[in-house]
Amino acid sequence: MFPEADEYYIAVDGGASKTEICVYSPATKVEKHFFSGCSNFKNPEADTKKAIIDDGIGKALKEMDIIPAQIKGLVMGLSGYDSQRDHDYFMDVAILSGVERNKIFICNDCELTFFAEGNPPGLSVVAGTGSISTGIARDFGRARSGGWGSSISDEGSGGWIGISVIRDLLRYNDGYGEYQQVFSTIREYLGEKTFDSLPGILSQYSVKELANLAKLVMDKADNGDEYCSLITAKAAEHIAEISYSVYKKLKFACEPSVDVVMSGSLFKSTFFCDLFIDTLKSMAGKDNINFCNKLLSPVMGGITLASVMFH
C-alpha cells in the first residue's frame, strides 16, 4: 500500500456509535481507513479494547504489514473522554497497540473536529445528540465547556431539544399544557393514531432516540413555526453560551483572528446556525471570529494534530 513509506501517523475517532481509524503516510500522502464499533467505555454495551485495538489499530497494522515502531504518532480523539481517570483508562488501552507511550496523545473527539478545518487559536463546537465546545490557544493551551452528559449538561443539544418538546407534549397529553402543531407531527412520525399511546412509548426512549425528534422541531422552525422557533432559538443561545465560555477562558478577545468550527446535525438548520453565529458574535463583541463548517472528517483532523504534535 505504501511502498516508499517507513513512518506513519494514526488517528482514532472514537464515537458513541462507531470508531474510525486512519493510517496516514506523510511520505506518500496516502491514507487508509478502518472502522469498528463503539469505543466509549461508559457505554455498558461497548467493548473498548476490541473496538480500538483488536478491530481497530491492531487490525490496521496487521493488514498493512506495519510494526508499532513505525508509528510516528498516535492521536486518539474519544467520545466520553472527560477526566484524568478517562485518560488513564484510554492510555492503558492505547499502549496495547505496541506504540510507545510518548508517541500517544489522547483527547476528546471534539478536538479532532477542530483540526479538521481550524487552526489555533480557535474552538470547536459540536451540537448534535449532545453539546460541547473545546478550544485550542495559540500556545496549544486548552479549555472546554459542556459535554458532561445528558442528565446534567448538554444544553442546547438535539437531546435537549427532544426532551424539551416531549416534556411539553406530555403536559398537553396529561391535560395541563397547550397544544402545539409539532405534537401531531411527532405522533405521525411515530406511527401512532392517538396521543394516548405516546407516554408509554416515549418513556422508554433513550436520549439518542429523543434527539432524533429534534429535526422535526428544527424543520418547523426553519418554516416559521413560532413554538418551534422559540425552542430552537433557546438551543442556539445555549450553544453560543458554552462556546463563548471557551472564548473567554482562552482570552480570545486579544486575538486578531479566531476560527470557530461548527459540527453536528443542528447546524444543518439555517435558522439555528444563523442564530448561533449572531449570538456568539454579540457575546464576543468583536469581529475577530471566522466561522467554519467542517469539510474534512474528524479523523483527518486527528492526522493533522498528530503531524503537529509528533513532527
Q: What is the mean pLDDT of residues 277-284?
A: 97
pLDDT at residue 1 is higher than 80: no
Predicted confidence (pLDDT) per residue in 227-251, tens digit:
999 999 999 999 999 999 999 999 9
Within 10 A of 234 (CB to CB), how many other CB atoms are there? 16
pLDDT at residue 2 is higher than 70: no
pLDDT at residue 3 is higher than 50: no
Question: Which residue reads 452528559 in cell numbers?
Answer: 149
Q: How many domains does the chain have?
A: 2
pLDDT at residue 123 is higher than 80: yes
Task: Show the domain range for 77.
Answer: 8-116+296-309
Q: Indicate the pLDDT class of residue 82, thresholds 50, 70 and 90.
A: confident
Tell me, yes or no, whether 163 and 301 share the same domain.
no
Q: Indicate the pLDDT class of residue 295, thresholds 50, 70 and 90.
A: low
Tell me, yes or no, whether 27 and 76 share the same domain.
yes
Residue 3 lies in a domain: no
Tell me, yes or no, whether 303 and 275 share the same domain.
no
pLDDT at residue 148 is higher than 90: no
Residue 2 lies in a domain: no
Burial (Cβ within 10 Å: 0-12, 13-18, ≥19) of residue 239: buried
Tell me, yes or no, whether 91 and 145 share the same domain.
no
Residue 1 lies in a domain: no
Tell me, yes or no, whether 66 and 104 share the same domain.
yes
Residue 226 lies in a domain: yes
Tell me, yes or no, whether 132 and 109 share the same domain.
no
Q: Indicate the pLDDT class of residue 152, thresholds 50, 70 and 90.
A: confident
pLDDT at 5: 57
Mapping DSSP onto H, E and C, the string for the chain reads CCCCCCCEEEEEEECCCCEEEEEEECCCCEEEEEEECCCCCCCCCCCHHHHHHHHHHHHHHHHHCCCHHHEEEEEEEECCCCCHHHHHHHHHHHHHHCCCHHHEEEEEHHHHHHHCCCCCCEEEEEECCCEEEEEECCCCCEEEEECCCCCCCCCCCHHHHHHHHHHHHHHHHCCCCCCCHHHHHHHHHCCCCCCCCHHHHHCCCCHHHHHHCHHHHHHHHHCCCHHHHHHHHHHHHHHHHHHHHHHHHCCHHHCCCEEEEEECHHHHCHHHHHHHHHHHHHHHCCCCEEEEECCCCHHHHHHHHHHHHCC
Q: How far apart are CA 59 and CA 68, in angstroms?
A: 12
- pTM of the shown model: 0.87
Q: What is the mean pLDDT of residues 160-189?
A: 95
Tell me, yes or no, whether 164 and 258 share the same domain.
yes
CATH number at residue 13: 3.30.420.40
Predicted confidence (pLDDT) per residue in 12-38, tens digit:
999 777 899 999 999 999 999 999 998
Average pLDDT, the chain: 92
Tell me, yes or no, whether 26 and 103 share the same domain.
yes
